[in-house]
Structure 1
Amino acid sequence: MEHFLKRLIADGENLHLDFKYCVSDSRKIARTLSAFANSDGGKILIGVRDNGSVAGIKTDEEIYMVDTAAHLFCRPEISYTIKQHTTGGKTILEVDVLRGTKRPYQVKDENGKWLSYFRNNDQNLLANRVLLQVWRKEEKERGVLVKFSKAENSLMNYLKENRSVTLSKFRKIAGISSYKAEAILSNLIIFRILNMKASEKGFFYELNPEEPAIPCVGTGSIQH
């Protein structure tokens, strides 16, 4: 088990792994729980510093804080498993979170507002409205129908000449509302026609290079 932990820690923080030196605020760890449940799941190692050095936990308070985060500060509640490991005489908590089936998972912030997070590399980022729509549509049993109207075609043609587009830019070139633009982008992400990229500068949408050619001229529809 100690070898497993060392290998895991050596990988460093990433899309599926987060280190916590300690848990002093249930709301903060709730963001990581939400991010993993909204993404592809992951592990939280409590008692490990950001640089990978092992500090260990001093009390069982962290277990209580995680439970509070999952059940009081997350909506819907987030399921997880927790294990204790000992390495070098120090105790580490391993919190395992699976990808949720009731996305979006929200976190209650200090002002009582419910927000959703997702995992981007080794960061927890706040989800935008497009991503929230993607999650809600994917959790529904009903399929999604995409009609290639003037707005969709203008987007496809723009992305033939440009690497990416922002929501505001798409609104301008298509002459549509934010609500309509968000609905179109979320549908095209579900169909894997578009990829969404996130950074500190914001959200960008690109054509998925792995997808086959799609209709970009005239009108048509596809169903998911």
Structure 2
Amino acid sequence: MMKNLRASRGKFFIERLIAEGEHDRQDFKYTISDARKIARSLSAFANHRGGRLLIGVKDNGTVAGVRSEEDIYMIETAAQIYCRPEPSVTFHAYKANDEGAQVIVAEVAPSDIRPIYVQEDDGSQKAYIRVADENILAPELLVRAWRRQNSPQGSLLTLNAVETTVIDTIAASVGGMISSEQLIRTVKASRFTIEEAITKLAAIGTVEFRYHGGEFMLVLKDQSEAIG
């Protein structure tokens, strides 16, 4: 918690981080006012490759400094109350300018067991993924692939005819990518069978999800930059 954090000199370190801008592993937060909204950031980072929140930094990169230790309590609440399972978050305080303004860096570790869900206000549980500088709702098939990775069947590598056809269809698609709905319309099999094939291929790392043009597309791993 902030009251137990000893701020280290970190002006140049924080300047270097801010110079990176907001990206898939970094987000600026001037202040923390909504625990559930922060829970979505924690979920997105933990389901991705990890990331960090720079608390006390405005969206334009200006150091404002942490205004209240409630910001730290709010993040802890987000992790403990609104995330399932709880993601790992560590805090470090830095003196970020000559006036002594403090910036808190909240480091979110990548989760070994995905997905990390957020308990939404309507009672539903949703998983998020970090894409560039946004927290995006993870598609259901990606969530199913994550769950499959946690089970013994997730490592099965033998492919059936439909799974092979799915791979061939993705490879032959324009730009090497295709939406799951396009794939379902193209491959001659039931929706259930094709969705199971996508889930398995994503779980074993053959197929990946890429966010493109406002939707998640399926690509083969060697043609993709992975998002998760």
> Which TM-score band applies after superposition, normalised by the shorter structure?
0.7 to 0.9
CA contact (8 A) 1:129 1:182 kept: no
SS at match of 2:177: coil
CA contact (8 A) 2:163 2:201 kept: no
SS at match of 2:52: strand
* AA matched with 2:164: N
After TM superposition, the structure 1 = structure 2 runs for residues 156-195 of structure 1, keeping only pairs within 5 Å, are 156-162=167-173, 163-195=176-208
SS at match of 1:209: helix
Q: Percent identity?
A: 34
* AA matched with 1:206: V
Q: Answer yes or no: is 1:61 the counterpart of 2:74.
A: no
- Mapped to 2, the partners of 1:164 and 1:142 lie a distance apart of 26
Residue of structure 1 equivalent to 2:19:
10
Residue of structure 2 equivalent to 1:82:
91
CA contact (8 A) 1:34 1:106 kept: yes
* AA matched with 1:170: L
Residue of structure 1 equivalent to 2:138:
127
Deviations 1:23-48 (A, max 9, x none): 10001111011111111111111111
Q: Tell me which moved more, 141-150 or 46-55.
A: 141-150
Residue of structure 2 equivalent to 1:138:
149
CA contact (8 A) 1:150 1:174 kept: no
* AA matched with 2:51: G
- Mapped to 1, the partners of 2:167 and 2:153 lie a distance apart of 25
Residue of structure 2 equivalent to 1:38:
47
Q: Answer yes or no: is 1:100 the counterpart of 2:111.
A: yes
CA contact (8 A) 2:166 2:198 kept: no
- Mapped to 1, the partners of 2:205 and 2:155 lie a distance apart of 12
- Mapped to 1, the partners of 2:117 and 2:205 lie a distance apart of 24
Where does the alignment leave 5 or more consecutive residues of structure 1 unmatched?
212-224
- Mapped to 1, the partners of 2:42 and 2:158 lie a distance apart of 36
Q: What count of residue pairs does the alignment treat as equivalent?
A: 211
Q: Tell me which moved more, 69-78 or 143-152.
A: 143-152
Q: Which has the higher helix share?
A: 2
CA contact (8 A) 2:170 2:218 kept: no
- Mapped to 2, the partners of 1:21 and 1:112 lie a distance apart of 28
TM-score by length of structure 1 reads 0.86
CA contact (8 A) 1:101 1:139 kept: no
